[in-house]
Amino acid sequence: MNNAIEIKDLIKKYDDKFTLKVPKLTITKGTIVGLIGENGAGKTTLIKCLLGIINKYEGQIKIFSKEEKEEYLAKEDIGVVLDNMFFPDILKPKDISIIMHDIYKTWDKNLFYNYLQKFNISPQTQIKKLSTGTKKKLEIATALSHKPKLLILDEPTSGLDPVVRREILDLFLEYMQNPENTILLSTHITTDLEHIADYIIFINKGNIILNATRDEILDNYGILKCGEQEFNTIAKEDIISYQKNRYDYQILVKDKKNMQKKYKNFIIDNITLEDLMVLKIKGANNERIN
Amino acid sequence: MKGLIKKDLLVIKSNIKHLLLLVLIFCFLSIDGNNMFYYIPTFISTMLFITTFSYDEINKWDSYAITLPKGRKNVVKAKYITSILIICWAILLTYIGGIIFGELSNSLNISLLNNNIYSCLFGALLIISLSFPLIFKYGVERGRIFLIVIIFGFIFLISLISKYITIPEYLKNIDNQYGMYIISIIILLILFISYLISKKIYQKKEF
């Protein structure tokens, strides 16, 4: 099988306010998939369902073709970094190695200590005495040291400075040297994904509203900028969503090349994932114009 | 599971200085030879073990533990096994301490020591049997409050019953061999039922 993750008809209801719905989602082996969306969009809920932290849901989740009942077989192959969920912080990195050695058959103590050395983490320091960035590096080192085939990371770079973030992204790219390996990571720092992700999944209010390759998205979408009078000359069906700024309108358009031909007098800028996210979530849409 | 047991032992080890200090203080307080001495190490160890739940909760360890192979299945089992290990260790220590103390002061009374040790063991096992399901269900803070309510309710009930009902003679002599077996079996049964309830609670729990 070529799929690391397969989801079918997943529905997780919290209350009347929030429901996560994933009719179909497959993640192919050997890819880096970025999960984006605003806070509370359902990214963490999806990840918790995948990992069995949430286990009451409708639908089917398969990881490495293994279903829920034999989940522990798949879990040997999954490395996990969660947001603020880790070992009791009274423990030390060397304790983690002692514990994990008995939990994962494939735990590699030398590899773990190599990471510690690389990140300049003393095995004897209590976790609570580490800085946010160092702690995150320790979590990632822990996730990598049993040589997982799939890394699932929830906000691995949030709260970190650009230098540490880049270090961590490089680590992910190094991990992807093995073509069998797969990464699923959620983030709201979208620039990180522009560097490394192959696919982007965009979740909004519990629904996947976009699932495409990064290049498809960045090549295809564009931002058309114009003034108020010009705005009215643009065909409504061409406007996916728009935002009115102080001096101009920013319009999200699809099929950038054709749009440029159609609206020769306008500038259509390349889009960043952040623009896309903001315009899709915050921008007014077509229906409101009508 | 061995890993999860080691995790709790390591957490306790990181806290061991506090434990030793407490034991010393209490030993000092009970040096005049009252029975308090026998109960202190076990109950402090039990309470100390319950603090491992607090550390788990603060660091959201449970969510992380579930992502480990066989995580959800083993967390509960490991908690029970580790706590029993800790209790046995404390009891053994008390027993040896009791013998040495008795020999030194020339007042060794093995059957009295045995009785104290037994009630110590049973008391500690009852505490974990009652508190673990509550902690798994409601978390450490609320679980503790419920535990206190239950224990006081229990004491109140017992005192109420003993006021109105005369205890039959055979129950008064419960510390003979035969009675000891019955109590042991009842305690083990309670422990086992508590384990099953905790397991069920944990299987359904979402974090």
Q: Which of B63, B77, B203 is the best mutation test for A, with the most CBs of A within 10 A? A: B63
Whether residue A122 contacts residue B100, with contact meaning beta carbons closer than 8 Å, is answered with no
Nearest chain B CA: its distance from A275 CA (Å)? 33
The band of B148, judged by pLDDT with boundaries at 50, 70 and 90, is confident
pLDDT at position A288, please? 43
Q: Looking at residue B191, what DSSP letter applies?
A: H
Q: Which of A44, A45, A87, A109 is the best mutation test for B, with the most CBs of B within 10 A? A: A87
Q: Which of A20-24, A31-35, A228-232 has the highest mean pLDDT?
A: A31-35
Contact B59 A99 (CB under 8 A): no
Q: Is the pLDDT of residue A248 over 50?
A: yes
A258: left (phi over 0), alpha (psi -120 to 50) or beta: alpha
The band of A148, judged by pLDDT with boundaries at 50, 70 and 90, is very high
Contact A85 B60 (CB under 8 A): yes
Q: Does B18 touch chain A (CB under 8 A)?
A: no
The band of A101, judged by pLDDT with boundaries at 50, 70 and 90, is very high
Q: Does B72 touch chain A (CB under 8 A)?
A: yes
**For chain B, what percent of residues have pLDDT higher than 90?**
32
pTM value? Answer: 0.86
Q: Is the pLDDT of residue A16 over 60?
A: yes
pLDDT at position A289, please? 41
pLDDT at position A290, please? 34
Distance of alpha carbon A87 from alpha carbon A96, whole angstroms: 8
Neighbours of A157 (CB within 10 A): 25
- Encode A75-102: b = buried (16+ Cβ within 10 Å), e = exposed: bbbbbbbbbebbbbbbbbbbbbbbbbbe
- Of residues A191 and B172, which shows the higher confidence score? A191
This complex has an ipTM of 0.85
Parent domain of B112: 2-204
Pairing of the two strands A58-63 and A241-244: unpaired
Distance of alpha carbon A38 from alpha carbon A189, whole angstroms: 10
Report the domain count for chain B: 1
First to last CA, chain B: 20
Contact B11 A90 (CB under 8 A): yes
Q: Is the pLDDT of residue B170 over 80?
A: no
**For chain B, what percent of residues have pLDDT higher than 70?**
87
